[in-house]
Amino acid sequence: MSDFTHTVKVYIEDTDAGGIVYYVNYLKYMERARSEWLNHHGLAQRDLLAQGIQLVVHHLECRYAKPAHLDDELHITVDVVESTACRATFAQTVTRRGERLCEAQVDIVCLEASRLKPVRWPDALQPLMHG
């Protein structure tokens, strides 16, 4: 069972001329799911930025299995599977009615915004970063 699932509907703006979701939009869905995961745990990107903290993608690997289509309802999971003092690996999947469409491993790094240098997870994030 996943720690968190975010649901999105596919709109025409997400698709190509054939009504199939454009590949980069899966990454946008995953980004939104991670933001909603933070919100679910009482944190907001805006608050982290106000503290001088940025969470940025450092590395990702993505595998596309099947296409999503216009008007599909997609479910995007968020799970922390590994973490260090300033980096975490998220496993994310995009499914439609239980069918896996896309999966990714996304490495996120915690940075001090002013210097763009890695820093330890803030206290509020510490409990969330243990997969």
The secondary structure element, H or E, covering residue 79 is strand 73-83
**Cα 107 → chain centroid:** 10
Alpha-carbon distance of 92 to 34, in angstroms, equals 9
Q: Which two tokens stand for residue 21?
A: 């979701």
**Is 72 among the catalytic positions?**
no
What is 80-124 written as a DSSP string? EEEE-SSEEEEEEEEEETTEEEEEEEEEEEEEETTTTEE-PPPTT
Check 16, 71, 79, 123 and give the catalytic one.
16
Catalytic positions are 16
